[in-house]
Amino acid sequence: MKLSFQLKAAMLGTVSGLAAIGIAFAAGEMFQHSSAASAVSGAGLVIPAAGTVEQKGYALYMQNCAHCHGADARGDEGPDLHGVTESDARIVSLIKDGKKGEMPKFSTKLNDAEVQALIAFIRSLKG
């Protein structure tokens, strides 16, 4: 059975149209998910509101800490930072002086205000 040229064109047009609709839906899902995730970083870390000390701490965390503690602060080489119970003084000591063989010291890299911003960010992390 031979199909006419018009019938072949109609079938090809229908298949192409259905493929285009499928691609449009798939693209819509991708864009919808990326826009919904815009307030979340990495693997689910909520980014603090702009202009807050926690947001400044977040930026410092991503530059200085994420490579060991993970992009989501759940730990990688370093421990999970969600729900930290150490005192602020202990955290200051750990950040500035480090922990031999486990964590580098940041006393020459971060000033006191930056350390306090990091602490504010760490305190904002919920378990």
The answer, yes or no, to whether residue 36 has pLDDT greater than 70, is no
Cα–Cα distance measured from residue 72 to residue 82, given in angstroms and rounded to the nearest whole number: 9
Q: Residues 72-122: pLDDT tens digits?
A: 999 989 999 999 999 999 999 999 999 999 999 999 999 999 999 999 999
Query: Does residue 71 contact residue 41 with C-beta atoms inside 8 Å?
Result: yes
Cβ neighbours of 54 (radius 10 Å):
22
pTM over 0.95: no
Average pLDDT taken over every residue of the chain: 84
What is the residue-wise DSSP string for 73-123? SS-SSSPP-TT--S-HHHHHHHHHH-BTTTB---TTTS-HHHHHHHHHHHH
pLDDT of residue 100: 94
Q: Residues 37-80: pLDDT tens digits?
A: 334 454 567 889 999 999 999 999 999 999 999 999 999 899 99
DSSP 52: S
pLDDT of residue 38: 37
| Confidence category of residue 29, pLDDT binned at 50, 70, 90 | low
Query: Does residue 82 contact residue 89 with C-beta atoms inside 8 Å?
Result: no
